[in-house]
Amino acid sequence: MTSGLDDRLPRGLWVLLAANVVIALGYGLIAPALPIFASDFGVGVTAATAVVSAFAVMRLAFAPTTGRLVTRLGERRIYLTGLMIVALSTLACAFANSYWQLLAFRAAGGIGSTMFSVSAMALLIRLAPPSMRGRSSGYFSAGFLVGSLAGPLIGAALVDFGLRLPFVVYAVALLIAAAVVATTMPTVAHASTTASADNGKAAAARFAEALRWPEYRAILASNFAQGWASMGVRVAVVPLFVGQGLGESAGWAGVVLACYAAGNIIAIMVSGRLSDRFGRRPVMIPGLVVAAASTIALGYSPNIGTLLVLTAVGGVGSGLFAPTHQAALGDLLADRQRGGSALAAYGMASDLGAVSGPLVAGLIADRWGYGPAFVVTGLVVVVALVLWTVAGETTRTSSAATSVDSTPRRRSELP
């Protein structure tokens, strides 16, 4: 049974995994350079972190439109369009001559980013076999993290040749990812126009109904925490802490981010399989505990060695809960038509965290130091932990057809 696991995964999932490696490789290239590049224009910590947040602001603002575009034009087409938009905007960042140009170009990339990320999530939910949803989510996340591990290391080396070079390389990496998807991604059957129209009328009501479920609220909270801590503060504030708080070079910022990605990969290798076997909550809760504790202590690291260890441990915690809540979302929303409001809200939760996290942490760091900034970030993860302790087990919904003890109510009520 397990020997044929990989062969039974749909081809489209493997294409997404390969594309994610290329996308994340490029994203990791600019992660160490972006906030430092912004600060070179003579701005403070808050303004430098705003460059990271601007990308997420546009993702957040464009998410509802992306859902409608995916429904109308299909996942594959929107995925490719999004990759091209990010590639061009990233190339423009390399030639920015002022802080405001950099801010505008990076913000424009957020539109393309939400297009390819929402499309990829819709494909993952639709293509993943229910009995292997956790493992499929783990593979999907691992594809991104393999690139995240190599990207900062390469980016740390590239910054020695100038802070603009990583942006050029990232743009080329995105063009490669677009070519991979265009030539190998199979076309997914399109939902009927009538069905899409009917679903659009009920989208808002269905989202309101989903919010009444403690499982869905917990998923939104943990994805918000993931956006705040991992996609926002980790990228925007940690490199500044390395340089300003510990007095280390920009190259060490890339090493720190790589340690986080390494911890992620270690956990992801087992978290998906464990969540398929034992359920989502037994994996989610320990992951949130580890992530919260390591983040709270991060800002009080006395040296780079301690920071590397705490960052790697935090990566392990994130690697346990991030793909697991993604699989839990699939448990709840597998029967939805693509472009649904509950799916869009999931992506928006992460983006909202990525927008607010760097801004709040940056303001706190400017006024009270990096220690309190990371304490607040850890407390955001604690809130998600509390919600998961009172949530139910979503894997019961995926086996409703075969288990008398399951909760078919969740499936019958799902949007």
Q: In whole angstroms, what is the distance from residue 413 CA to residue 88 CA?
A: 42
Nearest-5° Cα angle at 235, 81 to 211: 70
Q: In whole angstroms, what is the distance from residue 312 CA to residue 26 CA?
A: 21
DSSP 287-324: HHHHHHHHHHHHTT-SSHHHHHHHHHHHHHHHHHHHHH
**CATH number of the structural domain spanning residue 86:** 1.20.1250.20
Cβ(31)–Cβ(90) below 8 Å: no
Q: In whole angstroms, what is the distance from residue 44 CA to residue 38 CA?
A: 9
pLDDT tens-place values along the chain, 415 residues long: 333 444 467 777 777 777 878 888 877 778 777 877 787 787 777 777 788 778 877 888 888 888 778 777 877 888 899 999 999 998 998 888 888 888 899 888 889 988 888 888 877 877 777 778 888 888 887 777 777 667 777 777 777 677 778 888 888 888 888 888 888 877 665 444 334 444 443 343 366 777 888 889 999 999 999 999 988 888 888 888 888 888 887 778 888 888 888 888 889 888 888 888 888 999 999 999 999 999 999 989 889 999 999 999 999 999 898 888 888 888 887 765 544 677 778 888 888 888 889 889 989 998 999 999 999 999 999 999 999 999 888 775 443 333 333 333 343 343 3
- Domain holding 360, by residue range, is 2-413
Q: In whole angstroms, what is the distance from residue 35 CA to residue 55 CA?
A: 12
For the chain, the domain total comes to 1
pLDDT attached to residue 188: 61
Q: Which residue has the tokens 């979503």?
A: 394
Please provide the distance, in angstroms rounded to a whole number, between the alpha carbons at the two ends of the chain: 32
pTM over 0.75: no
Cβ(299)–Cβ(370) below 8 Å: yes
Segments in 74-98 forming alpha helices (H): 75-94
Cβ(122)–Cβ(75) below 8 Å: yes
